[in-house]
Amino acid sequence: MSANPGAMGAVRRRPVQRRSAERVERILDSCAGLLDETGYRGLTTKEVARRAGVPIGTLYQFFASKESLVSALAARNLDRYLERLAKRFAAESPDRVAAVVDLAVEEFVAMKRAVPGFGVVDFGAGGRADAGLVEDDHVLDAAVDNNTAVAARLRVLVGGLLGAADLPELEVAGRVALECADAVLKLAFRNDPDGDPVLIAECKRVLRCYLEDRFA
């Protein structure tokens, strides 16, 4: 689970014991799988609990509602994306903006294609137009919108890598870049479950041009 206080807001009670933490992970896994099958409208806490093999009361010990359950899944998705991206950075040591952009987009696309539930929820913005997800701009953090919350987490990771963490313009540039990426990648996946490769490539190009100009 996320160490980000805003992201943890959807969880009623933090799991302390290993057994409880495993139950929470099982519940989130079941939620993710069901989202792919039923979309948001068809998702019920009763079926999530049944799939996870836990009493419905156990689910409600940790999650107050279907909405809080999906919020917690979005927070876990962001944590896992950042973990995957950090591993790619460590393995490939990108030292230019273009390389960082490519890796960031590639990891997001890979999760869209392969991670259960990610195509529906991703980081809380909603990934598929036909999934029936009621979009909420404050899933990850009650104080800021989803893209701002994601940009703040990315800024720590990417800014440190490029030696630009202390540049004040990185905050604004990161938010603008994320809004652009969000719009283009939603378009790429709107009618193609694997993502339109032309639009994915264009997303990379737009981000490279903008960010290289800002931080050359």
| Contact between residue 100 and residue 93 where contact means Cβ atoms under 8 Å apart | no
Looking at the predicted structure, is the pLDDT value of residue 147 above 50? yes
pLDDT tens for residues 17-34? 788 899 999 999 999 999
| Contact between residue 15 and residue 64 where contact means Cβ atoms under 8 Å apart | no
Q: What is the pLDDT of residue 2?
A: 40
- Where does 43-65 have alpha helices with state H? 45-52, 56-62
Q: What is the pLDDT of residue 10?
A: 60
pLDDT tens for residues 78-137? 999 999 999 999 999 998 889 999 999 999 999 999 999 999 999 985 554 445 554 567
The pTM of the full predicted model, rounded to 2 decimals, is 0.86
For each of the domains in the chain, give its residue range(s) and CATH number, in order of start: 7-215 (1.10.357.10)
Question: How much is the mean pLDDT over the chain?
Answer: 85
The type of residue at 197 is P
Pick the more confident residue, 143 or 68: 68
169 membership: H or E segment, kind and range: helix 169-190
